[in-house]
Amino acid sequence: MKLHLGAFDRSVDGWHNTDITPHIYIARIPYLPWLLHKLHIIDELRYGQHGEGVFRKLHYLDLCKPLPFPDDSVDAIFSSHVLEHLFMDEVERLIDQCYRVLRPGGICRVVVPDLEKIMRLYEVEDPRRFINDIYEVSTRSAVKNSHHCAFTGPFLRKLFSNAGFTKQTIRDYRVGECPDIGRLDNRPESLFFEAVK
């Protein structure tokens, strides 16, 4: 099994695509997407995605709880722009869980905002761009998607090493050993990291 954590609207065939979005439940109730669109609760983009069946491809998975998979049962794990939405203790527990469920030789690819690039945006006279990129809170409606932590390559190496991963590598966009990387990677401005159990 290949496990996609936080897939949202980017499910990939051949992967067990997971997320915590309420759109998973909205998609299961006939006419509810239509009603929420008419009430201006979901916008045109999300309504169209419901019409295409995007959210019916997802499985609900709360990453703050133990992963519901047996030890050594997963071949690959992929997550893009997910870890920064968790608190650091949750990140560490999730990495431990990834190590547990991966089979020996299995790979975990993590894509996150690059803290070193973000730090270069800091300007004393007007730090708004830096603040937005580090916290992802340019508007009040974005608060539910705010960032709670940040990562550099060396920090990811430390976190994954502490969990038991023996091989950690900083990668480039769509470069690495993770399967289906060309279909999974979609944020070229990011930090790309792979670890092997």
Digit-coded pLDDT (tens) for 144-167 = 788 999 999 999 999 999 999 989
Q: What is the DSSP letter of 171?
A: E
Digit-coded pLDDT (tens) for 12-61 = 999 999 999 999 999 999 999 999 999 999 999 999 999 999 999 999 99
Q: How far is CA 22 from the centre of its chain?
A: 16
Question: Would you tell me which CATH number, out of the four given (2.20.25.90, 3.50.50.60, 1.10.260.40, 3.40.50.150), belongs to the domain 75-196?
Answer: 3.40.50.150
Q: Where are the domains of the chain?
A: 75-196
User: Can you give the pLDDT at residue 142?
Assistant: 59
Q: What percent of the chain has pLDDT over 90?
A: 88
User: Can you give the pLDDT at residue 138?
Assistant: 67
For the residues 67-72, what does the mean pLDDT come to? 98
pLDDT band at 3 (very low <50, low <70, confident <90, very high): very high
Alpha helices in 39-191 (DSSP H): 44-52, 88-101, 115-119, 128-135, 153-163, 181-184
pLDDT band at 135 (very low <50, low <70, confident <90, very high): confident
Element (H, E) at 5: strand 2-5
How far apart, in Å, are the Cα atoms of 47 and each of 23, 38, 70? 10, 10, 36
Spatial separation of the C-alpha atoms in residues 155 and 137, rounded to whole Å: 23
> 11 near 57, Cβ under 8 Å?
yes
Strand pairing of 74-80 and 2-5? parallel
